[in-house]
Structure 1
Amino acid sequence: MPEPPEHYYASTPGVASSRRTIELDLPDLRLTLLTDTGVFSFKQLDAGTRVLLENAPRPAVRGDLLDLGCGYGPIALTLAHRQRRRRVWAVDVNERALELVRENAAAAGLSGVRAALPGDVPADVRFAAVYSNPPIRVGKAALHDLLLQWLPRLLPGGAAYLVVQRNLGSDSLARWLSETGFPTRRLLSRHGYRVLEVKPRSSTTTTE
């Protein structure tokens, strides 16, 4: 990505703030979103995020939704627009990003969005679906730790949808997830990106 990645992985980005707006333009939704330096893909909607939003299925079960690594909120706001009766958690370590999500949700009238640091999501909250353009560039170990923190919180019958660039290890990530006990398949491939569908571990789904 054009901006230095360490900025948007930090809780408080070191780069000076410089706000701007971009258009989120999807077949069923158009919003003007506030972005800022130090936040992932602040100049335009990331291509992988667009692939995810245009192709990932809607949740199959009832319950809260999670945008993991939300940035300024394009995934969370789209989910909240499409699923207005659900609560959508927008989670990020980046405080600047979370403030943008709050402002963007308020401007769009989407009251179901909850922007939160990872530790501020109550431990008993479970998710019908997780949607994420995960931070691949944090490194394999950190990425694996992140996924192992959140994927066990999927509800029975739920799923996670992850968009990963093909040349950044989407296939190896899918293998690792399956080997770790989360059945994973490639849902589709578009423009060099894979959308992976990840199901709960078998020990969770046996309660269905």
Structure 2
Amino acid sequence: MEQYFTAQPTAQHQERTFSFNLRGHLLQLTTDNGVFSKQTVDFGTRTLISAIDFTNLPAGNLLDLGCGYGPIGLTLAKEQPQRQIMMADVNERALELARNNAIENRITNVQIQISDIYQQLQQQTYAAIYTNPPIRAGKAVVSAMITQAKNHLVLEGQLWLVVQKKQGAPTYKKIMQQTFENVQVIKRDKGYYVLKSVKTNN
């Protein structure tokens, strides 16, 4: 079965558009077959978005890693209009939707590009990285998203991640602690954990 982290989905197109309110911003979102959570903004993503706190965030751009059709990155762009938001995904169909959703919602402070984890992002650094990681891609992929994040954050930069307890939250919390020497549970809701680490040293 074709997964949403496939680079070039072959599923027959079946676009659908819906409105969704995220942090008080009513977004028009178009999805399609072959992308994650095509029916609606999934609960994990909503939980992460609602938990985000911009307090103590250093200067710099933000990264939505594994952006899909864009709900996290587009919300960040609305909330932080003075910052540039990078949105990256391996799924080309999802990226095309994200670009169109940015246009539809008149959001211009975004840059949307293909990247397999951080590979195509070169050595860019960010004030924060936000991700609802592709759990079905496997532990190695999700672990790399965490461990490599440190190299892509400025000092005092933040990594935010949402994951279900039954899909490995305790394991990924431990990897964040090992990588950053700190981790906080920011929010728990219906088995979902929003985890945050801060880069305190190089």
TM-score, normalization: structure 1? 0.89
Matched, 1:152 2:154: no
Matched, 1:72 2:69: yes
Moved more, 40-49 or 140-149: 140-149
Which residue of structure 2 lines up, in the alignment, with residue 167 of structure 1? 166
- Once the two structures are superposed, residues 122-160 of structure 1 have per-residue CA deviations (whole angstroms, 9 ceiling, x without a partner) of x23211011111111211112212333333211111101
* Equivalent-residue separation in structure 2 for 1:30 and 1:144 (angstroms): 33
Matched, 1:58 2:54: yes
Which residues in structure 2 correspond to 1:135-150 (within 5 Å)?
135-150=134-149
Matched, 1:83 2:83: no
Count of residues in correspondence between the two structures: 198
Moved more, 107-116 or 65-74: 107-116
Q: CA deviation at 1:27?
A: 4.1
Given that 1:186 and 1:195 are in contact with CA atoms closer than 8 Å, whether structure 2 keeps it comes out as yes
- Once the two structures are superposed, residues 38-82 of structure 1 have per-residue CA deviations (whole angstroms, 9 ceiling, x without a partner) of 010010110010011111112611100000100000001000000
Which residue of structure 1 lines up, in the alignment, with residue 38 of structure 2? 42
RMSD: 1.6
SS in 2 for 1:142: helix
Q: CA deviation at 1:95?
A: 0.3
- Runs of 4+ with >6 A deviation: none
* Equivalent-residue separation in structure 1 for 2:77 and 2:195 (angstroms): 21
Given that 1:24 and 1:74 are in contact with CA atoms closer than 8 Å, whether structure 2 keeps it comes out as no
Which residue of structure 2 lines up, in the alignment, with residue 112 of structure 1? 109
* Equivalent-residue separation in structure 2 for 1:129 and 1:180 (angstroms): 15
Structure 2 gaps of 5+ residues are: none
Which residue of structure 2 lines up, in the alignment, with residue 14 of structure 1? 10
* Equivalent-residue separation in structure 1 for 2:144 and 2:161 (angstroms): 15
Given that 1:40 and 1:71 are in contact with CA atoms closer than 8 Å, whether structure 2 keeps it comes out as yes
Which residue of structure 2 lines up, in the alignment, with residue 186 of structure 1? 185
Q: CA deviation at 1:182?
A: 4.6
Q: CA deviation at 1:114?
A: 0.8
Structure 1 gaps of 5+ residues are: none
* Equivalent-residue separation in structure 2 for 1:134 and 1:106 (angstroms): 25
